[in-house]
Structures are given as structure tokens and as C-alpha cells.
Amino acid sequence: MDIAYKGEHLLPGNLGQFFIVLAFGSALFSFICYFFATQEKVAKSDNSWLRLGRIGYWLNTVSIIGMGTCLFYILYNHYFEYHYAWSYTSRSLPTYYIVSGFWNGQEGGFLLWMFWEAVLGNILIWRAKSWEKPVMTTLALSQAVLGTMVLGLQIGSAHVGSSPFLLLRNSGMQAPIFQNPDYLSFIKDGKGMNPSLQNYWMIIHPPTLFLGSASLVVPFAYAVAGLWKKRYKEWIQPAIPYALFSCMVLGTGVVMGSFWAYESLNFGGFWAWDPVENASIFPWLMLVGALHVMIVYKNTGHSYFTATFLVMISFVLVWYSSFLARSGVLGESSVHAFTDLGLFWQLVIGVLIFLAISVYLLVSRWKELPITKKDEETYSREFWMFVGAVFLGLSCFHLIVVTSIPVWNLMFGTKMAPPTDPVKHYNVIQASFAVVIALLSGFTQFLKYKRTDITRFFITTLIYLAFAALITALVVYATGFYKLHVVFILVMLCSVYSVVANAKILADSFKGKYKLAGSAVAHIGFGLLLVGALISSGTKKVVSENITGEQFSAEFAKDEDPKENLLLYKNEPLRLGDYMVTFTGDTVEGASHFFNIDYKRMKDGKVTESFTLRPNVIQAQGGMSSTPDTKHYLFHDLYTHITMTNLISTQPAAEEAQHGATDDDKNYDAPVAHEVAVGDTIPYRDGVIVLKKLNRSVKLQDIPITDKDIALGAQLEVITHGKTYEAEPVYMIKGNSQLDFGKKLEDAGLKLRFTKVIPDDNKIEITVYQQPESKKKFIVLKAIEFPYINLFWAGTIIMVIGFLLSIFRRNKEFKAI
């Protein structure tokens, strides 16, 4: 008997599922129509297949917007009867994280991928002209394959796709609660977002990365169209602007990920060689190589096969990267790989479809490809650009082989282990590739296509290489970079050389050679990016040196070096490098727990600089995540995060009537009574307490005082660690009862009671309760200084500007044809 469930909002889910099916069907319909429209046997005057293909693609676009709207409506309204909403959001999340929750899970990621392909497809319908039919055939096929990933259909024992509109009770969770028609009354909230994802980069990084990945389908589609329709030479020209766009956006997305790692994920820097990080860069490396060889072919007619192969394999790698991140195969080796949603074989099929298309077209057209018989001149630009593309390919191949070790073990039943020190392994080998690539990006700018004046080339190259060597020597000496492996010094030399060589080309472009400006600016940006990455990661310094002798537990020492972590008790300043730092308090904002840390730079006893950093700790069902806060300077960043704390939330201190010991007294050391007169000082472990005066007109909230009552307040001033606090405990005689109302000073770790009046000596008794060291609130922080990190970010921005200039140039060339 079916259960009649109560309170479920089924309409948006049913509507969303309808749009999913419609999106898949319309993409498949568009693919078929465009395919037939492309056939030569179809009369050129008959555009019916073309019109139907467009209608199908437009319907696909509307469907994608429809299902995206339905999913956001479900997330925004906290309909936790849907598995996706329950898994990735909660009521405490602000709206901007609800938006990012859209692509938090795999299903939402596929929807975002489909959306960007839909946008690109509509641009191509508008701009592709004679290329529309064959190019859109490939885009429609890609949309259909992506559509299967979110279908969520069960056909017999086969599971096709995972729908974002799956109900929680149908998600396979074996729980008795779903036998209750009113189960939603027990589900008050969702699981929430992984703490490490609660960062503003989550809002902008994934959409940018998905746009970059999705855009690779366009140069791939042009390459397929060129081979399919035997327009071998023609497809390169219109594909170059799209390849430039893909390089720019995907590269920006990857660097945004490094920003995210730097500011949120506690990798201790901007890149940690995590397998999913590596997977994201596969297609970018390959496409950068492809782009350079495409330009070579356009200018010289050389390297056609290489250009075509690299373009095609770049898009295949987009699918392979998605397989690595989404199939669950990297679940034990990456901190942010997705778990398997049952899409393992679907993702494999997706990779194989586009790989098979590439292989079939290249093999079947092999004899007809415009391959030149004549070799390139050794001193020609095209030869060395080809060499650079080869090294980019080798760099990518190394990353693929090592990152894919879990795949090889799964496929071949082997038990290969990843490198024991992956960071060192990748750094040294990839630095070796970077030496060659950076060097080539410099001296190829002095070469000409087809043939170069060798003497002039060598003189120019050596002059700028010598100049770069001088600058490198100064940089290496000033930053202490000479302590590192020699291969990193070579990368530094070649990166500086690339910057100065391309700066010369950029200067020439201002003299009228404007066509060179885009590539020069992009190469300058790339060189600065490498210089910034080398200096900041190679010479970063932990400034939270523990010289206090404070010991940490063995459990803590498994993950952190005790010598690099500083214990700060609340309101007790401590030296940290050039600063005095004080943990002043904390603030809870939703799921976030911010810790306020005051930094003061001192010189000659005066404060020359003061600022507050607020690192954040988020506690959620997914675990605890510590998000750093960073002080940015022009030449370095000071990066601070919390590695441990015993802080617990407490209620505000209030006046409490006492007749003797209370349960709260257990939280303090044994009380000490002091007989003092006005003006006397009471010393204690962390400072002094001064009795300033007695207040005979004190009032107590909610306690009426009559003429027969006596109420006396002791106005105390507490001075501890350079800070001053005020407290006024009260002694009272009411009727036949003697009462005192103590005062807690949580920041000072004190409780103070006015316990007795001694009229004969004009004194009073103040009882001091002090928290033991073990009860004092503390944080353990780690602070790292990243020198010249801004070169890394500036290089990224400059590289993007270079890509934009190149896109504008290539667009003009295409329109001029």
C-alpha cells in the first residue's frame, strides 16, 4: 500500500524532471537534425533540417534554464524533501551560499556545464555562418551526452544519470522515518555545506571553471567539422579566437582555484598538487600547446596534424578530468573529489565517445591531411613553437600518468603507490618542464616565421639573457632563493628572461607592430606568474615561531609542527615576528566562528602599525574547517589561521547572589580572600586589582532596597596584560540575611566577590577566584609570510589581458576574410 506523504512540495521537482527529459530529448533531436542538415545529399536550398536543428537547440536552452530555475526554487525555499537540497544546504546558510549550493553537488555541476554549452551554442548559431551545421552537430551531441548524466532514470537494473530532483525518501537511505507519512516534520534542517566551501570563491570559481571547460567544445567542434567536411585548412582561422577564449577563461578558473586554496583550504599556499587540482589543468596545458601550433599552421602551413590532434585531445581531457573528479576513483587520494553517484561507466562512455570521434576522423582522413613534406627551419619560430607545444604535452602527460595511478590500479589490478612526497615529486619534474617552456616563450619572440637572421638572433638573445641573469642574481640573493634546488633557480632565470624578452617585443609593438602586443603581454604575465609562484612558495616563512617552550599533544603533532604554532591565551599579548599579537575575543556568526587577533608592530616602544585579523573556524556535520585571514602588503602577505582552540560559548556574565561555594567555583582555583582599604592593591597571577572606592548608593536590578537594608559596592579596577577592566561586586544585608553579588570578568579569567565588611579597620574583604591555566580560553595559531605573492596574482591579470588583446586581433582577422 502506497504511503500518502504529507507536506511534500512535488510540483517544482516534477516540473524540473520534465525539463531534464525535455533537455535531453531536444538535444538529441537537434543533433539528428543538424547531422542530416550537414549531409551533402541534402539540397543547399533546403533548410528545413537546419531550422529544426536550431529549434531543437533553442528548446534545449529553454529547458536548461527551466530546470535551473526549479532547482534554485527548491534550494531557496529549503525543501529538504529533495535529496540535493538536504545534502548541500541548510537554513543557516546566507543567500549567496544558497546560490553556490546550486553547483555544490555533481548534478548541479552538470547543469552548469550544460548551461554554458547552451550559451556558446546560441552564439555559434548567430556567428558560425557556413560552419554552423557541422559545428552545431557536435555541440548538440555534447549536450545530449551531458543530459544523460542528470536523467535519473531506472531502466531495469540499469541506472542512467543522477537527478537533482530526486526525493530524499527515494534516495536509497534505509531509514524507518520514511514509513511515517509526516516524516518531514522530523527533518528540520539540511546537512549544510562543507565548511571549506563556505567561501566567496565558491560563488565565482566554479562558474568560471565550468565556462572554461565547456568552451573547449567549440575548437573541438571546429576540428571535427574541418575533418568531417574535408575543409582541412579552413577551420583553423575561426577556431583560434575560441581557443584563445578557452585558454583565458579556463586558466583564470584554475588560478581562482589557487586563490580559493590560498584563502580557504589551508593548503599553506595556492597549489598543493591535489589530484583534482591536477585534473583541472590537464586540458589547459594541452590547449595552450594546441593554440601555439594552430598559429604555426596558420602562418606557415606546418604541423597540421599536431594542431588538430592537440585540439581534439584537449576536449577529451575535459571529460577525462570530469571522470577523475566525479567517478569516485580519486575518493581516497583527493580532499575534494566527489563520491561515486553510480555514473562511473557513464563517464567512461562520455570519454570514449569523444575519443572515438577524434580517432575515427584522424585515421579515416589521414591520407588527405595537409601534411607538409618540408621540415621546418631550425632557426624558425614555427620550429621552436612546435617544440614548446611538445613540452607542454609532456608536462601534461606526466601529470596524467601520476595522477591516474588509482585508475591504472583499477584497470590492470596493480598496486602502484603514488609518490611518497608528491609535492616534491611534482615540483622538481614540472619545474624541469617549466625551464624549457619559459625559455622558449622568451627567445621564440626574436625568431621569424620560416627563416631568421641567425647572427642577429644570437646577439639579441644573449644580450637579454645576460640582462635576465643579472636580475635573477639580484632576486635570488635578496630573497634567499639560492637555498633551493638548482632547477628552481633555472626556472627563475628563464621566467625573468621571458619577461624581459617579451617586454622588448611589447615596446616594439608601440612602434607600430601592434599584432605582437597580445602574445607579448600574455607571455609577460605568464613569466611574472612563475616568478611570483617561485618566490612566494620557495621562500615563504613561518613567523609563528614557538619559543615559549609550550608543548602540544602527540595527536596535534601528527598534523602540525609544534615549533610553528603559537599558543595565545585570551588578552595575553605575545611576540610573533615583528608584531605583538593578542587574542582579544571571538564572534559567532551563524556556522562561522571568528577569532579576533590584534596585531601591533612596535618600534622604540611606540605602535607603528595596528590591525586585526579574523580567521574563521566553521563547525558543521562535514567536519571543522579553519579559514585563514590575510593582511595584504605590497610586497608580502601575512597569512594567519587557527590550528586549535578550547573556546566554548558562554553566557554573558551576570550578577549572582552567593551565600557560599557554588558549582561554578569548580572552574576556578581555590579562592583567596584579601582584606583591603580604599586605594589598596591586590596582586594576582596575571595582574593587579585596585580598590578605587566604595559605592554606598549602589542599585541592583530586580532587587528593591529599603531604608533598613544595607548595600555597598566595591568599585574595582583590574589591570592585566596592558588592559584595564572595571568590576563592582556588591555586599548586602537584607533583613537577617547577608548576601553578596559577585562579578565575573571572563576576559581576565576572574570572578570577584565582596564577602565581608570590617568596620573596625575601615577595610573590606575581597575574595578572588582565578581560572587555572588549563581553564583559560586559548587559541593556537599558525602565521605564514608569503613574499612577493602579488607577482603571482598580477601575472595572472596581465596574462588575461594578453589573451583578450589576442582575441580582439584574431576576431578582426577572421572578419577580414
**Residue 313 half-sphere exposure, CB side, CA atoms within 13 Å?**
19
Q: Is 594 helix (H, G, I), strand (E, B) or coil?
A: strand
With a cut of 80, say whether residue 361 has pLDDT above it: yes
Under the banding of pLDDT at 50, 70 and 90, the label for residue 111 is very high
The pLDDT, as a whole number, for residue 292 is 93
| Average pLDDT value for the chain | 86
The three three-digit cell numbers of residue 542, written as one number: 613561518
Distance CA 677, CA 360 (A): 98
Distance CA 63, CA 488 (A): 51
The three three-digit cell numbers of residue 296, written as one number: 604555426
Whether 343 contacts 324, CB under 8 Å: no
The pLDDT, as a whole number, for residue 654 is 40
The pLDDT, as a whole number, for residue 655 is 46
The three three-digit cell numbers of residue 9, written as one number: 512540495
Q: Is 589 helix (H, G, I), strand (E, B) or coil?
A: strand
Residue 12 or 626, more confident: 12
Closest CA to 119 of 217, 24, 193: 217
Cα 467–Cα 471–Cα 473 angle in degrees, nearest 5: 115
With a cut of 80, say whether residue 258 has pLDDT above it: yes
The pLDDT, as a whole number, for residue 359 is 96
With a cut of 80, say whether residue 619 has pLDDT above it: no
Under the banding of pLDDT at 50, 70 and 90, the label for residue 648 is very low
Average pLDDT over residues 258-286: 80
With a cut of 80, say whether residue 811 has pLDDT above it: no
Distance CA 576, CA 387 (A): 49
CB atoms within 10 A of CB 359: 14
Residue 272 or 798, more confident: 798
Percent of the chain with pLDDT over 70: 92
Query: Over the stretch 169-210, which tens digit does the pLDDT of each residue have?
Result: 888 777 788 888 888 888 888 888 776 677 777 788 899 999
Query: Over the stretch 23-69, which tens digit does the pLDDT of each residue have?
Result: 999 999 999 999 999 987 765 667 899 999 999 999 999 999 999 99
The pLDDT, as a whole number, for residue 774 is 64
Distance CA 701, CA 714 (A): 16
The pLDDT, as a whole number, for residue 339 is 64
Query: Over the stretch 556-583, which tens digit does the pLDDT of each residue have?
Result: 777 788 888 898 888 888 888 889 999 9
Q: Is 115 helix (H, G, I), strand (E, B) or coil?
A: helix
Query: Over the stretch 374-433, which tens digit does the pLDDT of each residue have?
Result: 666 777 888 888 899 999 999 999 999 999 998 888 888 888 888 888 888 998 999 999
Whether 694 contacts 714, CB under 8 Å: yes
Under the banding of pLDDT at 50, 70 and 90, the label for residue 593 is confident
Distance CA 102, CA 230 (A): 42
The pLDDT, as a whole number, for residue 410 is 84
Residue 601 or 658, more confident: 601
With a cut of 70, say whether residue 657 has pLDDT above it: no
The pTM for the full model equals 0.83
The three three-digit cell numbers of residue 212, written as one number: 572554461
Helices H, strands E: what count in the chain?
A: 20, 23
**What is the maximum alpha-carbon separation in the chain?**
119
Average pLDDT over residues 73-98: 89
Closest CA to 689 of 720, 660, 713: 720
The pLDDT, as a whole number, for residue 43 is 55
With a cut of 70, say whether residue 753 has pLDDT above it: yes
Under the banding of pLDDT at 50, 70 and 90, the label for residue 650 is very low
